[in-house]
Structure 1
């Protein structure tokens, strides 16, 4: 099966659009693009952490943020957050208790891209998309970092985002 090209906005060091680039080329060339990530957080302060499926091209079988994805060409951070939350967790952001908790630049942080990070407050377990995730746990930030430190495979920016957003 041939995958369709995923087009992203290419941005400069000020997060201003300067062109377009495919997702594959952006990663291969380590070019600045935009991403959104979100964490489901329950009243005990635990994060809902899923494992990516084995079929994922990048970071297969790795622990992941609750929600994450690229901001597509012409899309805003907020619309990408809404789209990704619906695609991955079948949740409507407009009906949720959420807030933006961080904005990062790869030029200032060493993270992989420009990012907006959101927090969704919920105690409910969610019906995740089985094409994206295979299993999930509620973990405290410290437990998650301990798992990663002990060798549990995780998506590249996960530990750093948890350290920065949930100290």
Structure 2
């Protein structure tokens, strides 16, 4: 049986106004919170993984290094730490990281309220094989070239790369 994932529903100021299921938020395009992170090496390349085939949304697609929904009652930073541990098997407290951006779906074409983090490392993470099948170190321009060339990608990936690394 699939577990129901509850998310905070937020208004245009990113204030909690209720709770919704993840499925309901996607179906109705409701305003919720997410985190994304990019693992960046000393050459300025982004670690870009490919999602597994069994993912409900964007199967077999290129993805951010880390991403996830902020659960109901959770804050952005706690979600970032949890997702990094779950997806990359890394402890944020032992990493060189920083928040690099904060976005609203009301002034971008992004899908949700979003905080974006950057993790600095030259090491390939021991990623969760339930999340990803493979990964590539790519420059921001190479990420956009692959997407433009037809490589499937998660919905916000190209815009996030442009906003965070090419603006």
RMSD: 0.3
What are the equivalent positions in structure 2 for 1:8-47 lying under 5 Å apart?
8-47=7-46
Structure 2 residues without counterparts, runs of 5 or longer: none
Match of 1:136 in 2: 135
Question: Distance in 2 between the 1:164 and 1:58 partners?
Answer: 23
Q: Tell me if 1:102 matches 2:64.
A: no
Match of 2:89 in 1: 90
TM-score, normalised with respect to structure 2: 0.99
Aligned length: 166
Match of 1:149 in 2: 148
Aligned-pair distance for 1:110?
1.4
Question: Distance in 1 between the 2:129 and 2:54 partners?
Answer: 11
Question: Distance in 2 between the 1:110 and 1:128 partners?
Answer: 29
Question: Distance in 2 between the 1:44 and 1:105 partners?
Answer: 30
Deviation beyond 2 Å, 4+ runs, structure 1: none
Deviation per residue, 1:41-66 (Å, 9 max, x gap): 00000000000000101100000000
Match of 1:163 in 2: 162
Question: Distance in 2 between the 1:87 and 1:146 partners?
Answer: 29
TM-score, normalised with respect to structure 1: 0.99
Deviation per residue, 1:23-42 (Å, 9 max, x gap): 00000000000000000000
Question: Distance in 1 between the 2:109 and 2:50 partners?
Answer: 23
Structure 1 residues without counterparts, runs of 5 or longer: none
Question: Distance in 2 between the 1:156 and 1:3 partners?
Answer: 24
